[in-house]
Structure 1
Amino acid sequence: MLSQALLAFLAFCCVASAVYILNDIMDIEADRAHPVKCNRPLPSGAASLGTAKCLLVGLVASSLVLSLKVSEWCMLFIATYFVINILYSWRLKHVVIIDVSLISCGFMLRILVGTVGLGITPSSWLLLCGLMMTLFLGFAKRRAELLMFETTKGANNSFTRRVLDDYSHEMLEQFIAVTAACTIIAYGLYTVSPQTIAIHGSDNLIYTLPFVVYGIFRYLFLLHRRDKGNDTAKDLIQDRHLLLTIAAWVITTLWVLA
């Protein structure tokens, strides 16, 4: 199982890298006009377009070969991930709601590769929780981008996402509220579901729910009072409250399952 998991991890690393290269190839002209992205290898000329295309093909082929060694399901999920990102980069990233939904689908496919792809049946509630969480973070990011766009309006309009024209603060606030609530509910139902209790032999996972609730509330605070949300990973690393919450959740989970 460990070797299969490692192969699946490597396969997804390859396809994720291929997607980044694909995005850079498709956005090369726009990136050349961007004040920051112009320093990337392709728009800056540090790497040739031909080299990037060869690397892209090699990474996609490697991901498919590695994933097939794991299972057919694993290869199917990885191929689907790549196709979704092609559609996203091609046009769908400019379609309101669909843009965030496709990003969320990408994260869900990661979960499926690590579960179904390895022959593990995932909890339906856990999948729903993952879906709602990624939608929550995606809409939070759009909110931060919209705020930045309005703050710098007139200066950097050519560097912003066209899809932001179709979003509004009111709409995003509703999306964020709904997905945040659904995340908490789905996680809570996961902890008390008969399947979860049977697998872990404990009904005490419900005691980890307060950490999830606080973590989401803390992130909402950062969105509204600290203008965060544009870079989730950076927000997480820089906020000690979130770090402590995650640490407490991990410790409590390990204690419950011990």
Structure 2
Amino acid sequence: MSPEGTALRSPVDDSPASAGSARSVAAGLFRACRPRQWLKNALVFAAPAAAGVLTTGAGMRGSLVAFAAFCLTASGTYLFNDSADVEADRRHPRKRSRPIASGVVSVRLARLVGAVLIAAGLLTGWAGGWRLAAVVAAYIALTSSYTFWLKRQPVVDLVAVAGCHVIRAYAGAVAVAVPVTSWFLVVISLGSLLLVAGKREAELRAQGGNGTRATLVTYTVAYLGHVRVMASGAMIVTYCLWALQEHEGLARAPYAVSIVPFVLVVLRHALLVDRGVGEEPEELALRDRPLQVFIGLLLLSLAVGVYLT
């Protein structure tokens, strides 16, 4: 075979490979943005829905702006977090297949795209008003602190991750300018702590105490179970007090009924965590049919209370 023939075929042979590589990197970047975890950002709809303004044009627009801002920002922070954890993730039986840990996406590219997404999230938040932008900035500050420091501090890491969920819920209220009650904040805070403790417990069960997350060597299954029991008990009591004491007349009935599916959601989550499948809470909401039914009944009863009484 002549050198000329090789030279003539090189551009043709290399182009498909380059195109395939570009597609794999693009697909890897999309996976690294964790689109399934955008489900967490649905918390921005909680306060507008509870205030009865989600069905209005302004309420829906404000909520969607907040949702978009947090999807962009969260994906950017995930890229930075995975870049910081790349070596640890490569030793993890499941996380080593993540795009950055597996080498599909380079650390440099991940950080560049992460910075762009965070900037886009801030600008989107600014489109919803400076107050929403300030809440998005607070989320960025907390997640950055978690990525580079707080994740290695036992107990504090639980509160930090739970705080990210609380910020999302608060952002929804800011986006549509509705007041946030203490009942709302307490239930959201305790629920967030419950999910985070369940996630850590499932990780600990799966990895047998030898996982790559720094704080797992400090925690025990018994301790995390205690945190879950404390958070779930306090949350149920708070929710019951809100449902029974803060409403009168006919409006009380649907809120009182909502207690039943609310408790069922908590109990189902506890069962799943004990089975060792609570490592990815968003996956539970997408795959577990009984949990979906209980959540649907809860949302239905609350919708009746908010919009039809």
Give the TM-score, by structure 1 length.
Answer: 0.87
2:295 match: 246
Structure of larger gyration radius? 2
Tell me the alpha carbon deviations over residues 5-47 of structure 1, each in whole angstroms, 9 at most, x when there is no partner: 2222211111101111111221123334444433333333333
Q: State the one-letter code of the partner of 2:136.
A: I
The one of 181, 187, 208 aligned to 2:239 = 187
Residue pairs, 1:19-34, within 5 angstroms? 19-34=77-92
1:103 match: 161
Measured after TM superposition, the shift of residue 132 of structure 1 is 0.3
- SS of 2:76's partner is helix
1:44 match: 102
2:52 match: none
Q: State the one-letter code of the partner of 1:250.
A: L
> Are the equivalent residues in 2 in contact too, given 1:142–1:164 (CA < 8 A)?
yes
- SS of 1:160's partner is coil
**Sequence identity (%):** 26
- SS of 2:163's partner is helix
2:278 match: 229
Q: State the one-letter code of the partner of 2:240.
A: G
> Are the equivalent residues in 1 in contact too, given 2:202–2:278 (CA < 8 A)?
yes
The one of 224, 228, 240 aligned to 1:176 = 228
Residue pairs, 1:1-258, within 5 angstroms? 1=58, 2-150=60-208, 157=210, 159-194=211-246, 197=247, 202-204=251-253, 205-224=255-274, 226-256=275-305, 257-258=307-308
Report the RMSD for the aligned CA atoms in angstroms. 2.2
Tell me the alpha carbon deviations over residues 145-177 of structure 1, each in whole angstroms, 9 at most, x when there is no partner: 222222xx6xxx3x4312112112332222111
Measured after TM superposition, the shift of residue 193 of structure 1 is 4.7
Deviates more, 1:211-220 or 1:124-133: 211-220
Query: Structure 1 residues 143, 44: closer, same or farther in 2, change over 3 A?
Result: closer
- SS of 1:135's partner is helix
Unaligned runs of 5+ in 2: 1-57
> Are the equivalent residues in 2 in contact too, given 1:123–1:190 (CA < 8 A)?
no
Tell me the alpha carbon deviations over residues 107-132 of structure 1, each in whole angstroms, 9 at most, x when there is no partner: 00000110023211122101110110
Query: Structure 1 residues 33, 108: closer, same or farther in 2, change over 3 A?
Result: same
- SS of 1:14's partner is helix
Q: Distance in 2 between matches of 1:48 and 1:145?
A: 26
Tell me the alpha carbon deviations over residues 215-254 of structure 1, each in whole angstroms, 9 at most, x when there is no partner: 2122222333x33322222333443322221222233233
- SS of 1:230's partner is coil
Q: Distance in 2 between matches of 1:69 and 1:234?
A: 31
Number of aligned pairs? 248
Query: Structure 1 residues 252, 134: closer, same or farther in 2, change over 3 A?
Result: same
Deviates more, 1:1-10 or 1:17-26: 1-10
Query: Structure 1 residues 42, 228: closer, same or farther in 2, change over 3 A?
Result: closer
Q: Distance in 1 between matches of 2:158 and 2:199?
A: 9
Give the TM-score, by structure 2 length.
Answer: 0.73
> Are the equivalent residues in 1 in contact too, given 2:258–2:298 (CA < 8 A)?
yes
